[in-house]
Amino acid sequence: MVYPSAKYPLQYSAFVPVRQAGNYTLIFARFRLLKKYLDADSQNEAPNAVMSGLESESESDPAEPAQDDVVDQQCVETSYVPFTEEEFGEQGEQVEELAEENKSLIWCIVKQVRPGMDLSKVVLPTFILEPRSFLDKLSDSYYHADLLSKAVQEDDAFTRMKLVVQWYLSSFYKKPKGLKKPYNPILGERFRCYWQHPSGSRTFYIAEQVSHHPPVSAFYVTNREDGFSITCSILAKSKFYGNSTSAVLEGAATMTLLPRGECYTATTPYAHCKGILMGTLSMELGGKINIECENTGYRTELEFKLKPFLGGADATNVVVGKIKLGKETLATINGHWDKECRVKDSKTGEETVLFKVDAETRSKRLTRYMVPLDLQEANESQRLWQRVSEAIANEDQVAATEEKTVLEERQRADAKERLSSDSVHMPDLFELDSYGQWLYKYADLRPWDSRNDVRQYECQFKVLTQTRHKSVPIVHGAEMIHPLRSSIETLSRTQRQSPAGQPLPPGGSAVPKAKNKSLVLAPRDTNSDSSQSPQGAVKRSSSSAIKQLALAVDQVNRVLEQHTRQLNEISQRLERMQYSPPPSSMSAHSLHMLGGGVSQSTVIKSLIYALIGLAFSLILRWLFK
């Protein structure tokens, strides 16, 4: 297992900031985390299931059978079954011939739209629908997640980038037969599954539709045992251009190699469909994307090329690109994303196969496991769209349209009810961070600890870790992805000074640097007795003072959370108005609704609480001297 070091600095943020927001909400949230971590006996919120809590790590036997340990019974592990039904389209150009009756439906839709119009609100006929939800469709990228497991183990940064690109290209070759579009997810819809790796580890995928207008889908992928995690929120848009239309996915997925602390961000090409009115109806991928790692400086630039007007089969589904370090091009990439891609080293001229779609590649696809249909909740994708999918499978377009209309009308009724009650939908699994990104509430970004961690499992859409010991989660290194230490150190580093009036060293304390890597107290050693030492007295005194301080901060935080919710509601309303501007006759009403959410006094109180939090952070730093 690779541990953090100066060579592999760990990072806190798994997202590229999109927009800056106030940090005071994070300050109090992280103080609240301090209270939780100080109490080593309180593990209800921690993403761990305890197997044994009395023996120390040194006394545990790694080979001890799991069935002899006690598993937390508060959350029952979800049952999964293998799901092997897959449909693959043909390589090359993706085309479809429409029946005459379907062409007339297309013409009816075209009459309702104009060039440049967003198609998200247009009701599409069921014959162009793929019988699966968009949340399910997004999971197609992880049938070759074992390539990411190899990237974690690779020591060379250039080879790691090539493996990440290889995994990225493996996401596209599975195509539906014909031109099909997945269902638009219903607000609050969820999807979950996992893939079994040959090593025995599991890659879990949790997705939720967090917004409907605008349509935003959020998902979280984790395999702590193999050392990677992915998080993303996507805004789906579609534009009509007359004889063609494009589906654009705005947002960047961020993959973190946990033991190395490297974050890779990647964007997505757009899907372009042409020949709607004239010519052959076809679909292809287009656009430029970037895969970038700020930690190492490596960057891959890929361009998915659209077929030119006079192009042949060799000009279909072409992808070209470069792997760069700074301004230097280390390798070039060319080929077809649904057939074969090759990479050529710029220095040696050696050309090798980067990714090839053949029978061997398909045989290496990981097996996906899903929850049986009868055990799924009502808002899970498969069960939610079950009747629509059955009607499409039976080629009964009338029944499919009726069942689809029932779901859409139910969603409209729920939206009207929220509007009348002046409330907004709050997702259950994801929450907005200070940069406006949707984060999984139960994310665990700690590197895998083989002495303590046993396995990951899913329960009630929570991906948890079964452990051998009941202990405070361990912080692996000074730059670990840890929400408490990073913010407090950042706030206080520029304000604290030594007694002589000079700034303290970067470590933030006169004590040796190794003793100040984290503000989280280490788990108690049940076999040692420090009650007679001065250090033990200081620890007990500091712990008591911090607990009392954390309790006071928690009370302040409750009030602040209420203000934060109001601000989030206003932010979401503004986004909806920007996405779909209301008529001018409603502008006064909309402004009244926005203005009534938070008063000026509330904003002033929030600023005061932020200043109080800053003062508390300084006091905490002083206690840890």
Quote the CA–CA distance of 286 and 272 in Å, as a whole number: 7
One domain, residues 37 and 144: no
Backbone angles phi, psi at 140, to 5 degrees: -65, -15
Question: Given pLDDT bands bounded at 50, 70 and 90, which one contains residue 73?
Answer: low
One domain, residues 30 and 167: no
Establish if 471 belongs to a structural domain: no
Please give the mean pLDDT across all residues of the chain: 75
One domain, residues 257 and 158: yes
Q: What confidence score (pLDDT) does residue 472 get?
A: 53
Other CB atoms within 10 Å distance of the CB of residue 281: 20
One domain, residues 256 and 319: yes
One domain, residues 117 and 265: yes
Strands (E) in 358-495, as ranges, are 367-370, 430-432, 438-440, 453-459, 462-467
One domain, residues 314 and 391: yes
The residue ranking higher by pLDDT, 614 or 31, is 614
Adjacency order of strands within the sheet including 48-50: 48-50, 462-467, 453-459
One domain, residues 297 and 229: yes
> Is 269 within 8 Å of 286 (Cβ atoms)?
yes
Establish if 325 belongs to a structural domain: yes
One domain, residues 150 and 281: yes
Average pLDDT estimate for 395-418: 92
C-alpha count within 13 angstroms, C-beta hemisphere, residue 454: 24
Quote the CA–CA distance of 176 and 245 in Å, as a whole number: 18
Question: Given pLDDT bands bounded at 50, 70 and 90, which one contains residue 24?
Answer: very low
Percent of the chain clearing pLDDT 90 (strictly above): 46
Question: Given pLDDT bands bounded at 50, 70 and 90, which one contains residue 22?
Answer: very low
Establish if 149 belongs to a structural domain: yes
Residue that finishes a domain, picked among 400, 420, 440: 420
> Is 271 within 8 Å of 285 (Cβ atoms)?
yes
Quote the CA–CA distance of 39 and 41 in Å, as a whole number: 5
Establish if 366 belongs to a structural domain: yes
Number of domains in the chain: 2
Quote the CA–CA distance of 16 and 435 in Å, as a whole number: 9
C-alpha angle 214-220-225 in degrees, rounded to nearest 5: 175
Element (H, E) at 266: strand 262-266
> Is 313 within 8 Å of 92 (Cβ atoms)?
yes
Residue that finishes a domain, picked among 353, 388, 420: 420
Check pLDDT > 70 for residue 111: no
Establish if 54 belongs to a structural domain: no
Residue that finishes a domain, picked among 420, 439, 465: 420
Check pLDDT > 70 for residue 332: yes
- 504: domain range? 25-46+478-524+532-625
Question: Given pLDDT bands bounded at 50, 70 and 90, which one contains residue 102?
Answer: low
Quote the CA–CA distance of 564 and 624 in Å, as a whole number: 30
Q: Can you give the pTM of this predicted structure?
A: 0.67
Quote the CA–CA distance of 172 and 313 in Å, as a whole number: 18
Check pLDDT > 90 for residue 243: no
One domain, residues 209 and 285: yes
Establish if 58 belongs to a structural domain: no
Establish if 97 belongs to a structural domain: yes
Establish if 55 belongs to a structural domain: no
One domain, residues 93 and 37: no
